[in-house]
Structure 1
Amino acid sequence: MKVQNVSIDSIKPYENNPRDNDGAVGGVVESIKQFGWQQPIVVDKDSVIIVGHTRYKAAKKLGYKEVPVVVASNLTDEQVKAYRLADNKSGENAIWDNKKLLKELDGLSDKIYTGFKESGIFEDVLDESDNSPVVENNKGITYSMKFSTQNKKSFEKIKNYATEVLSLDE
């Protein structure tokens, strides 16, 4: 892999990028300010961005004239399309281990950027103080637990999962 610095004006965003990343640009700007540029943008043989649209937008916002780039000239058009999707999708398939996350956040200065707000560290968590008993009834065994979130999409996702997959009553 060869990383090269190129003019930011020589690379082009992918016009059909299905990821709306505008909300993430501010965080990437802050990350670049604090940690420098640590990950190149990947482009195809025509200098169209495969992965790194958010870094590209952050660099534009910061006024960068050049950015580090890797040209993935070894990929077919189909592989480029698939890589663009897979790179963005893979992060959605991971979950946080909240105990390990707290250990990592513990002791970090509030001034260093992590992407977490103190009030939002556990945006979606099971309430550990919930000591509801397991109840046996004519439908079988049920266990109730509390789920707390300020994110309506997360709530709907958990509710649908519980209803469809676990066959729980609402």
Structure 2
Amino acid sequence: MELVFSPDRIEAWPVERLRPYAGNAKMHGQDQVAKIAASTAEFGWTVPCMVADDGELIADHGWVLAASMLGLKEVPVIRLSHLDEAERRAYRIADNRLTELGEWDEEILREEISGLLAEDFDLSLLGFDDEDLDALLRDPKDADDGASEGEEDVPEPPATPVTVEGDLWQLGNHRLICGDSTSVDVVGRVLGSVKPMLMVTDPPYGVAYDPSWRNKTGATATRRTSKVQNDDRADWREAWALFPGWC
């Protein structure tokens, strides 16, 4: 079979020479562009942009956005001079749609990602988010709807929680509030006129602890993989300043 076109060269064009196509139906969010940029920084520029002779982009709009994010001045391009306007419009759609038709062999994918994890490779460069990676790395043979060994069978939380932010509970002589420990109003409500003798905290701070590593490494099988809100906050001096007791 003789192809209607096969590129014989790749050119380097200034980024400002490229014009996005106004009718491009494929959207690129900031998160996706950031992932393309991170991939490009790690692996290099592996996909030339498809352009018309006048600089209008035919394919790879996301890569050009990533180039701008990286501060690149030039990008590699291939001219598709043989396409007329209708063919360019059709190819834009086909180029995006055809890549969506493939499916993953999840068993092979799991083995590949597990191998990269064992080599301490940065899995964020693969394009999957943490939730997807957790699901992929979980061996389906270990899946169990019940509690894992050593864990309590904790029911799912109700759709409408009993306690909401601002609620203050009186538990005998103790008081418990659902709120922000850096808020003067919240701390004042829970303490009232009482001067506490002890402030219990849980260092280290700012680590964004992710308990799902236990499943990834096979150390244990746990369903307790949820994260703590604001666990990545390193500076808690606002909360300490509201402690009226002895340090």
TM-score > 0.5 by shorter chain: yes
Alignment-derived partner of residue 11 in structure 1: 18
Find the residue that maps to 2:95 and give its secondary structure: helix
- Quote the Cα distance in structure 2 between the aligned partners of 1:21 and 1:88: 12
Q: Does 1:116 align with 2:128?
A: yes
Alignment-derived partner of residue 63 in structure 1: 71
1:41-90 Cα offsets, whole Å, 9 max, x none, are 10012110010100000000110100001110011211111110001111
Q: Which has the higher contact order (CA 8 A, sep 6+)?
A: 1
Alignment-derived partner of residue 44 in structure 2: 36
Among 111, 118, 125, the alignment partner of 1:103 is: 111
Alignment-derived partner of residue 168 in structure 1: none
User: What are the ranges of 5 or more consecutive residues in structure 1 without an aligned counterpart?
Assistant: 131-170
- Quote the Cα distance in structure 2 between the aligned partners of 1:21 and 1:90: 17
Find the residue that maps to 1:67 and give its secondary structure: strand
Alignment-derived partner of residue 87 in structure 1: 95
1:108-163 Cα offsets, whole Å, 9 max, x none, are 1342521124531347x9x7658xxxxxxxxxxxxxxxxxxxxxxxxxxxxxxxxx
Q: Which has the higher strand share?
A: 1
Q: How many pairs are equivalent?
A: 129
Among 69, 73, 82, the alignment partner of 1:74 is: 82
- Quote the Cα distance in structure 2 between the aligned partners of 1:77 and 1:118: 41
Alignment-derived partner of residue 147 in structure 1: none
- RMSD value, Cα: 2.2
Q: Which runs of 4+ in 1 moved over 3 A?
A: 127-130
- Quote the Cα distance in structure 2 between the aligned partners of 1:10 and 1:118: 37
User: What are the ranges of 5 or more consecutive residues in structure 2 without an aligned counterpart?
Assistant: 1-6, 145-247
Q: Does 1:21 align with 2:47?
A: no
Give the percent of matched residue pairs that are identical in Structure 1 and Structure 2.
Answer: 31
Normalised by the length of structure 2, the TM-score is 0.48
